[in-house]
């Protein structure tokens, strides 16, 4: 198999990122399976037509059920709002399609488990969109951890800081509504940190969290997407309740004994999108910040004693993942490249009839931690993951 016929549902922020990935992959990874951008799906006919044209999709439809039913499609790519994930995924699995679903997998742990079960039973490949794993610098962390070059891991601390809703007049977009988004900063930002923790450190055994909604009410939006909106009526706009968390923090213990600290917030002035973590091991440490995604700071205890210090590694050398497909050393990549690498993994897995990583198991595992934290917040106690 060297062609992958894709049907994609959703065409906003993530849809654009995925489309770009499908289009760009063959140019830089010519050995990879070539995605065919077959059909784009969205509810608003005019808008989806325009999007299909702009993003380079051959056809478009407005009914996802129709899309899922077609037999000229191999892969269903789901990046519609979170509340739509489950139903589509179940139908896609039933129709025997491979599935690439954006995170969070579903609004609840049980929904996500249902999705995993359906996909496993259908024998299809399933992937969940934790794209940050695919930064070359994060791949380098994985390699350092797995090879033992950092030794035993003692600490993982991570924070995903944004500030786009700091202004109390910013309107009530769908990402601030629990019934559509599931949760706020926790599921949107914290989910990425949790997946990175799983990927790089291991499973989490127990958690305790704290959550807050600083601004309880916001102006209703006239028109909106998940990230932006306009509210034409200014100060007099009618308001609605914010039903998700503005910030969620939690402490965690990993099964291997490491200690974890996690913070997700949309109220950190000056941080447009600081997705950062640090790992401390017995033989070394690493620091990563997605705002400088090409860089990794690395420390080794074995360095000569007069020149010990964090090294700023720019992960664009031939020794780094993906780098040779791109530009010469020192010529950096951007946010969108994580999706191109993600789609590369997806294609390779489908070709090889194996599950891609991360897949729905990872999505479920992440959801379990998300919900355990939520339970710990509402019950004000430590929650063991075995409860979930």
User: What residues numbered 205-234 form the site for its own copies, per CB under 8 A?
Assistant: 208-210, 212, 214, 227
Residue 40 C-beta: closest distance to its own copies, Å = 13
Kindly state whether residue 291 participates in binding its own copies, applying the rule CB under 8 A.
yes
Kindly state whether residue 386 participates in binding its own copies, applying the rule CB under 8 A.
no
Establish how many alpha carbons lie within 13 A of residue 271's alpha carbon, considering only the half-sphere containing its beta carbon.
16
Alpha carbon distances (Å) from 332 to 265, 326, 349, 380: 28, 9, 27, 44
What part of residues 233-252 is at the interface with its own copies (CB under 8 A)? 247, 249-251
Kindly state whether residue 174 participates in binding its own copies, applying the rule CB under 8 A.
no
Kindly state whether residue 79 participates in binding its own copies, applying the rule CB under 8 A.
no
- Using CB under 8 A, which of the segments 83-91, 187-195, 303-311, 349-357 binds its own copies? 303-311
Considering the complex, state which of residue 79 and residue 280 has its C-beta at the smaller distance from its own copies: 280
Cα separation of 334 and 338, whole Å? Answer: 8
Considering the complex, state which of residue 354 and residue 380 has its C-beta at the smaller distance from its own copies: 380
Kindly state whether residue 181 participates in binding its own copies, applying the rule CB under 8 A.
no
Kindly state whether residue 298 participates in binding its own copies, applying the rule CB under 8 A.
yes
Kindly state whether residue 93 participates in binding its own copies, applying the rule CB under 8 A.
no
Is residue 332 reached through a cis peptide bond, with omega within 30 degrees of 0 on the bond before it?
no
Considering the complex, state which of residue 213 and residue 355 has its C-beta at the smaller distance from its own copies: 213
Rg (C-alpha) for the chain, rounded Å, is 21
Residue 97 C-beta: closest distance to its own copies, Å = 25
- Bridge partner residues of 135 (DSSP): none
Considering the complex, state which of residue 113 and residue 287 has its C-beta at the smaller distance from its own copies: 287
Residue 124 C-beta: closest distance to its own copies, Å = 28
Q: What angle do CA 12, 354, 89 make, to 5 degrees?
A: 40
Kindly state whether residue 166 participates in binding its own copies, applying the rule CB under 8 A.
yes
Kindly state whether residue 192 participates in binding its own copies, applying the rule CB under 8 A.
no
Which tokens is 8 given?
A: 């994609």
Considering the complex, state which of residue 285 and residue 355 has its C-beta at the smaller distance from its own copies: 285
DSSP result, 184-240: SHIIIIIHHHHHHHHHHT--EEEEEEEEE-S--EEEPPSEE-SS-EE-TTGGGS-EE
Kindly state whether residue 261 participates in binding its own copies, applying the rule CB under 8 A.
yes
Considering the complex, state which of residue 210 and residue 224 has its C-beta at the smaller distance from its own copies: 210
Contact 118, 99 (CB under 8 A): no
Reference 373, options 254, 183, 208; nearest CA is: 208
């Amino acid at each position: 198999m060297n062609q992958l016929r894709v049907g994609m549902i959703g065409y906003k922020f993530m849809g654009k990122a995925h489309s770009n990935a499908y289009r760009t992959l063959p140019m830089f990874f010519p050995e990879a399976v070539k995605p065919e951008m077959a059909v784009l799906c969205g509810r608003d006919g005019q808008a989806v037509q325009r999007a299909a044209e702009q993003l380079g999709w051959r056809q478009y439809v407005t009914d996802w059920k129709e899309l899922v039913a077609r037999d000229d499609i191999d892969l269903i790519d789901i990046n519609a709002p979170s509340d739509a994930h489950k139903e589509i995924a179940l139908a896609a699995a039933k129709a025997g399609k491979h599935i690439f679903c954006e995170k969070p997998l579903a609004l609840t742990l049980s929904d996500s488990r249902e999705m995993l079960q359906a996909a496993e039973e259908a024998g299809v490949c399933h992937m969940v969109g934790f794209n940050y794993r695919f930064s070359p610098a994060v791949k380098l962390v994985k390699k350092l951890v797995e090879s033992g070059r950092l030794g035993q891991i003692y600490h993982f601390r991570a924070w995903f800081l944004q500030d786009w809703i700091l202004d109390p007049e910013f309107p009530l977009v769908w990402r601030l509504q629990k019934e559509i988004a599931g949760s706020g900063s926790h599921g949107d930002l914290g989910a990425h940190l949790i997946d990175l923790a799983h990927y790089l450190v291991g499973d989490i055994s127990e958690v305790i969290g704290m959550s807050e909604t600083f601004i309880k009410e916001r102006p209703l939006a006239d028109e909106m997407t998940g990230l932006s909106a306009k509210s034409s009526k200014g100060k007099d706009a009618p308001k609605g309740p914010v039903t998700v968390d503005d910030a969620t923090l939690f402490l965690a213990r990993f099964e291997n004994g490491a200690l974890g600290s996690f913070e997700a917030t949309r109220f950190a002035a000056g941080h447009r999108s600081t997705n950062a973590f640090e790992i401390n091991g017995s033989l070394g440490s690493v620091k990563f910040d997605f705002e400088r995604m090409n860089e990794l700071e690395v420390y080794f205890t074995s360095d000569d004693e007069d020149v010990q210090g964090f090294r700023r590694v720019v992960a664009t050398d031939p020794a780094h993942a993906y780098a040779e497909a791109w530009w010469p050393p020192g010529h950096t990549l951007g946010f969108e490249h994580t999706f191109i690498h993600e789609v590369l993994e997806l294609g390779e897995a489908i070709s090889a009839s194996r599950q891609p990583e991360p897949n729905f198991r990872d999505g479920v595992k992440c959801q379990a931690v998300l919900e355990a934290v939520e339970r710990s917040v509402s019950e004000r106690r430590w929650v063991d993951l075995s409860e979930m």
